[in-house]
Structure formats: structure tokens, C-alpha cells
Chains A and B, each alone.
Chain A
């Protein structure tokens, strides 16, 4: 990560540094290649939503996926933690095949327990937050560490409070999601994902359900995460974020990766016609 830790415009939310210190430092992936998606094909019925998609994400890299609506961005990142099945190709995270195991030279779907274990190292942040409404902010954060990892409750509470502080919500520990603004809910959701100490974070349009004035506070947390070395795949329409934070930008259209490159090259010299017309519309 080479992004300078400069001042971020358009937000007055203070996010303290060392977000990852709250979970004991940046998680180290066991391999240099955190995500390795090879020739992924997926159909919804007759609809060929992902067509021969290959994407590699290296440790501490931030990849932003852009593309028009319906191009398969959400579907692709859902495949990365096996919330969706794939019909061809393979996806590995941290060197582990996700959702499938080899059997008789073919890939067969893995057992639920194994899939659940693999998902522990992949954090996901949803467009609509999906916080647990019957639990407080702090309870949302400690739920998985306690229930899945068997972490002692006291230890989890300690870590949860630290995480809340790092996302600027120390005062909201006992608030229920319905008592929080959208931006606050999304920051709790990020903290909740971080509490599992993931090696990879997936973001699916984390700011597009937010009122404009709350977008900055969420992007700020994500920028801080990127600065600290979290490996991230981010689907977003926030071009400023892509330019500033991404190491690589990937353009998807009709289920295919049509172009990828550094933000500089991508935004100033797009080569693909689809990219050009997409950028013309969105910029």
C-alpha cells in the first residue's frame, strides 16, 4: 500500500489510526496471493452472469470493481465467500479453495462446516448493512468471535469496544441498530467484520444506501483500513475513493472483466470502449 495518509476531504468524523491494532495488527495472509479467481463462470438459470472471470488480489492490495448495473459485480464478490455457487472455474482465498473440494478430478461442493470455517477469514460489508437488529452495536461485534471462534466474552468485549472506538462510535456501544444513522450502522458493520480478524474484506457498494452526508464517514474508515494494509475488494461508484485508494481498478461489463489497470491509467487512458462510455456517463 502506497496511499499517502493525507487528509481526507469532505468528512469531519475522526477515525483514530491503527484500526487494525484493535484486532491485534494487520492480519497476515498465508500467501502473497490472497484472492485467486480463475475462469469463473456462473449462470442464474439461463442468464450467464459471470463469464470467464479471472481476478487476482495480492496481499495488502485494494481492488475496486466498477461497472454498470447488472454487470455482475455483486454476484462476483458473493462468489468469493461462497454466498453464491459457481458452475465453472475456481476461487481460492489465502490458498484455500472456496466452497468446493476436489473429488475424482471434479470439484464438489464442500461441507457447510468447512465453508463456514473458510468464511471466517473473509469479511463482508453489505450495501444494506445487515446488522442484527435484536443486538446492540457491541453485541453485533462480539457475536461471531464468541459464537464462532469461542473467544472468551470478556476478551471479545474488550476487542469490540476497541473496534467501536476506532470507528468513532465508542459512545454507541449499547445502541441498537435502529437507533443509529445509516453511516453509523455501516461503521458498526465494518467493525463487526473486522472482529473476525479477516485476511480479506469484501465491500459491496457500502455507501450507496447512505444519505450523501454520511458517505464520507464510511469512506474514511475504509481508507484508514486500506492505509493499514488490509486486503480489500470494493465494489463502489465512488470514483474519488477509487482514484485515491485503489491499487487497481477492474471494469466489469455483462459478466466479463473488460479492463483493469492502475487508477491513473484507468481513468486517464481507458482503452476499452465500454469503459470509455461508462466513465463518460459517470464522471
Chain B
């Protein structure tokens, strides 16, 4: 087999096709991740509820969406829900109130990816909350703070230190998992590659081309992620004299004075 470099370059620089696909991929990943964070937070908090029903719903949600393939979830939402609804089509080709890029299939894939992601984020956020010393919540309560205030003002900000690194990995995954949206006709990168080789019968070049684009996206995100983590002082000792916000936080909870600390 011969690798046609010209075909690769020609595909990759076919901007009018490739650029919207890249935008679609990134936009879908961001929106799905945001949805996942929100749902994950709700599920993590619900999972701590003393109310058995609330607690149970959260547990079942995580159980189902972590226990079935996300591709099946996407297809169930896109094909199954309209069938259930009968006449009305919740996923038309275009919505009058949304940009063209956010088609019905786009919305269906984004929702399914986000709901699926929420199940994983729930576990990550739960672990983050558990990582915060119980004395913190007790101190907040002893000051008269309600459980809600205690969570939002005291526990969650400290849990972020533990939540952020896996969250970054989740988003890396999400960037790539959006490729499943091609299964329901979303014109993201995989779909664009498939359309190309359907005409040229040269599958190798466009597949390498989109791989390079995925690699570029995840690499850029990797830089962004490490910058965020460095800023938060996660797992990294800062060389500056003035310790970062989270670097200071990290050395806490031992309750002992920092060796050689300022007095």
C-alpha cells in the first residue's frame, strides 16, 4: 500500500470541511464535559443524602451509565427517544434558536456524552469530598453554617485539589470520545474522514489526518491542564518563595507548624 502525502495534506487543509468538524468536536466536548460536571456534582451530593430515595436515584444513575457502553447510550437517545415520543422529533436537523453547527444529532450526542460523563464525575467529586478532613465540616457547622454553606464554602473548595487532576483526564477522554457522534451522523472529525475516503477509496490518509488533529487537541489540552494544576499547586512543589494558593493549602491539615515557616 502506498501512503499518499499529497492526499493527507489536501485533506487536512480542506479548511471549509475540516475547520467546522474541529469546532464541532471541541464544542461538543466542552459542553458535554460541563454537563457532566454539573450532573456529577448533583449526583455526588445526592449520594450523600440521608434520604434513601435521593441516595438511591444517584446510585442507580451511576450504576447504569457506568455499566453500559456510551455508544449504546448515544444511539438509544438519538433513535430510541423519538420513537418513544411518537410524532415530535426532539432532534431535527436544525434548531431555529441554535447555530447550524448545533444540529439535532449534535445535541443528542452532546447530551448522551454529558449524562454518561456525569456518572464518572460523580465518583471523582465524591472522592474529592471524602479527601477533605472531617474536622473542616465540623468547624464550619460549629460556627452555625448550614450543611449547604458548609459544602459550598468550606468542603468543595478544598476538594478541588483532588478533583482537578482526574477532571483534566476526563476532558482529554471526552475530546476523543466525541468521535462516537459520527455514528448518529454528526459531522465531526471521524465523519469528515469517512466522507472523504468514501469518494477516494483511500482510508489511510484521512484517518491519519484526523489522528493528527486529535493529537494536536489533546496535546494543547495537556499543556493547559498542567498549567492549571501548577497554578493550583497540585502535586507540584513551587520553586517561588511565595507558595501558591493550593501549595499552602497542601501543607495544612497536619495542624503542625510548617518547618521554618514564617512566624
Enumerate chain A interface residues (CB-CB to B < 8 A). Answer: 81, 83, 112-113, 116-117, 119-120, 122-124, 126, 128-134, 143-144, 147-149, 175-182, 184-185, 189, 192-193, 196, 209, 211
- B143 adjacent to A148 (CB under 8 Å): yes
Q: Which of B144, B153, B158, B250 contacts A119 (CB 8 A)?
A: B144
Q: What's the Cα separation between A176 and B252 when bound, in Å?
A: 9
Q: What's the Cα separation between A129 and B250 when bound, in Å?
A: 16
- A113 adjacent to B146 (CB under 8 Å): yes
Residues of B within 8 A of A81 (CB): 142
Q: Which of A133, A144, A149, A181 contacts B158 (CB 8 A)?
A: A133
Q: A182-B255, A184-B263, A193-B142 are in contact. List 17 more A-B contacts (CB 8 A).
A: A83-B142, A116-B141, A116-B144, A116-B146, A119-B144, A120-B143, A123-B142, A126-B135, A130-B133, A131-B139, A143-B143, A144-B140, A147-B145, A148-B143, A149-B144, A178-B252, A182-B256
- B262 adjacent to A175 (CB under 8 Å): yes
Closest to A195 in B: B143
- B145 adjacent to A148 (CB under 8 Å): yes
Q: B48 on the interface (CB 8 Å rule)?
A: no
Q: B249 on the interface (CB 8 Å rule)?
A: yes
Residues of B within 8 A of A124 (CB): 139, 142
- B258 adjacent to A122 (CB under 8 Å): no
Closest Cβ–Cβ distance, residue A125 to chain B (whole Å): 9
Q: What's the Cα separation between A143 and B142 when bound, in Å?
A: 12
Across the A-B interface, give the 10 residue pairs with the lowest CB-CB distance, nearest first. Answer: A133-B252, A120-B144, A130-B139, A144-B143, A124-B142, A130-B135, A181-B257, A178-B251, A128-B255, A176-B248
Residues of B within 8 A of A178 (CB): 243, 248-252, 258, 261
Residues of A within 8 A of B142 (CB): 81, 83, 119, 122-124, 193
B residues 222-263 near A (Cβ < 8 Å) are: 243, 245, 248-253, 255-258, 261-263
Enumerate chain B interface residues (CB-CB to A < 8 A). Answer: 133, 135-136, 138-147, 149, 153-154, 157-158, 243, 245, 248-253, 255-258, 261-263
- A196 adjacent to B257 (CB under 8 Å): no
- B257 adjacent to A182 (CB under 8 Å): yes
- B146 adjacent to A144 (CB under 8 Å): no
- A134 adjacent to B249 (CB under 8 Å): yes
- B245 adjacent to A134 (CB under 8 Å): yes
Q: What's the Cα separation between A133 and B143 when bound, in Å?
A: 16
Closest to B256 in A: A182
Q: What's the Cα separation between A148 and B144 when bound, in Å?
A: 7
Q: What's the Cα separation between A248 and B194 when bound, in Å?
A: 84
Interface centre among B133, B248, B249, B257 (most CB of A within 10 A): B257
Closest Cβ–Cβ distance, residue A102 to chain B (whole Å): 22
- B145 adjacent to A144 (CB under 8 Å): yes
Closest Cβ–Cβ distance, residue B130 to chain A (whole Å): 17
Q: What's the Cα separation between A83 and B143 when bound, in Å?
A: 11
Closest to B135 in A: A130
Closest Cβ–Cβ distance, residue B162 to chain A (whole Å): 13
Closest Cβ–Cβ distance, residue A279 to chain B (whole Å): 29
Interface centre among A124, A130, A143 (most CB of B within 10 A): A130
14 sampled A-B residue pairs with Cβ under 8 A: A112-B146, A112-B147, A119-B141, A119-B143, A120-B144, A130-B139, A132-B140, A149-B144, A176-B248, A179-B248, A179-B261, A181-B263, A182-B256, A196-B143
Residues of B within 8 A of A182 (CB): 255-257
Residues of A within 8 A of B255 (CB): 128-129, 182, 185, 209
Q: What's the Cα separation between A84 and B257 when bound, in Å?
A: 29
Interface centre among B139, B149, B262 (most CB of A within 10 A): B139
Residues of A within 8 A of B136 (CB): 130, 132
Closest Cβ–Cβ distance, residue A84 to chain B (whole Å): 10
Interface centre among A119, A132, A133, A181 (most CB of B within 10 A): A133
Residues of B within 8 A of A122 (CB): 142
Residues of B within 8 A of A185 (CB): 255, 257
Q: What's the Cα separation between A31 and B252 when bound, in Å?
A: 40
Closest to B154 in A: A132
Residues of B within 8 A of A176 (CB): 248-249, 252
Knowing A147-B149, A178-B252, A209-B255 are in contact, say whether A130-B138 is a contact too (CB < 8 A). yes
- B249 adjacent to A133 (CB under 8 Å): yes
Q: What's the Cα separation between A116 and B243 when bound, in Å?
A: 35
Residues of A within 8 A of B252 (CB): 131, 133, 176-178
Residues of A within 8 A of B144 (CB): 116-117, 119-120, 144, 148-149, 196
Residues of A within 8 A of B138 (CB): 83, 126, 130
Q: What's the Cα separation between A180 and B149 when bound, in Å?
A: 26
Residues of B within 8 A of A196 (CB): 143-144
Closest Cβ–Cβ distance, residue B207 to chain A (whole Å): 46
Closest Cβ–Cβ distance, residue B248 to chain A (whole Å): 5
